[in-house]
Amino acid sequence: MHLEHLLSQKISESLSSLFSIDIKPETIGFQKTNKDFQGDITLVVFPYVKAAGKSPEDTGRLIGNHLKESTPEVIDYNVVKGFLNLVISNSYWLDFFAFALSKNDFGIQLPGASGRTIMVEYSSPNTNKPLHLGHIRNNLLGYSVSRILEANGNTVIKTNLVNDRGIHICKSMLAWTRWGNGETPQSSGMKGDHLVGKYYVEFDKHYKEEVKVLEAGGKTKEEAEKQAPLMLGIQKMLLDWEAGEPETIGLWKMMNSWVYAGFDITYQTLGVKFDRMYYESETYLLGKKIVEEGLAKKVFYRKEDGSVWIDLTQDKLDHKLLLRADGTSVYMTQDLGTAAERFREYSSLNQLIYTVGNEQDYHFKVLFLILDKMGYPQAKNCYHLSYGMVELPEGKMKSREGTVVDADDLIAEMIGTAKAMTLELGKADTFSESEAEELYKQIGLAALKYFILKVDPKKKMVFDPKESIDFNGNTGPFIQYTYARINSLLGKARKELAVDSFVSSLADSSLLPIEKELLKIIYRFPETLKSSAAEYNPGVVANYVYELSKEYSTYYQTVNILKEENTELVLFRLGLSQLTGRILKNGMSLLGIDVPERM
**3-state SS record for 51-63:** HHCCCHHHHHHHH
Q: d(Cα 171, Cα 230) in Å, to the nearest integer?
A: 8
Q: Where are the alpha helices (DSSP H) in 374-475?
A: 407-425, 433-453, 465-468
Indicate the helix (H) or strand (E) that contains 464: none
Burial of 151 (C-beta count, 10 Å sphere; 0-12/13-18/19+): buried
Q: Where do the domains of the chain lie, and which CATH numbers do they carry?
A: 3-88 (3.30.1360.70), 122-391 (3.40.50.620), 425-590 (1.10.730.10)
Q: Which residues contact 125 (CB under 8 A, 6 or more apart)?
A: 131, 135, 160, 162, 163, 263
- E-strand ranges in 210-367 read 276-279, 301-302, 308-311, 319-323, 351-357
Q: Residue 66: which of 52, 46, 50 has the closest Cα? A: 52
Q: d(Cα 232, Cα 226) in Å, to the nearest integer?
A: 7
Residue 395: predicted pLDDT: 55
Query: What is the 3-class SS of 77-108, one letter each residue?
Result: EEEECCEEEEEECHHHHHHHHHHHHCCCCCCC
Q: d(Cα 163, Cα 266) in Å, to the nearest integer?
A: 17
Residue 90: predicted pLDDT: 96
- E-strand ranges in 455-540 read 461-462
pTM: 0.92
Q: Which residues contact 238 (CB under 8 A, 6 or more apart)?
A: 166, 167, 170, 328
Residues 440/422, Cβ–Cβ less than 8 Å: yes
Residue 1: predicted pLDDT: 57
The pLDDT profile of the chain, 599 residues, written as one tens digit per residue, is 589 999 999 999 999 999 999 999 999 999 999 989 999 999 999 999 999 999 999 999 999 999 999 999 999 999 999 999 999 999 999 999 999 999 999 999 999 999 999 999 999 999 999 999 999 999 999 999 999 999 999 999 999 999 998 899 999 999 999 999 999 999 999 999 999 999 999 999 999 999 999 999 999 999 999 999 999 999 999 999 989 999 999 999 999 999 999 999 999 999 999 999 999 888 888 999 999 999 999 999 999 999 999 999 999 999 999 999 988 888 899 899 999 999 999 999 999 999 999 999 999 999 999 999 999 999 999 999 999 998 877 755 444 444 578 899 999 999 999 999 899 888 888 899 999 999 999 999 999 999 999 999 999 999 888 888 888 889 999 999 999 999 999 999 999 887 777 877 888 989 999 999 999 999 999 999 999 999 999 999 999 999 999 999 999 999 999 999 999 999 999 999 999 999 999 999 999 999 999 98
Hey, CA dihedral for 174, 177, 182, 183, is it positive or negative? negative
* Integer-rounded Cα radius of gyration of the chain: 29
Residue 504: predicted pLDDT: 79
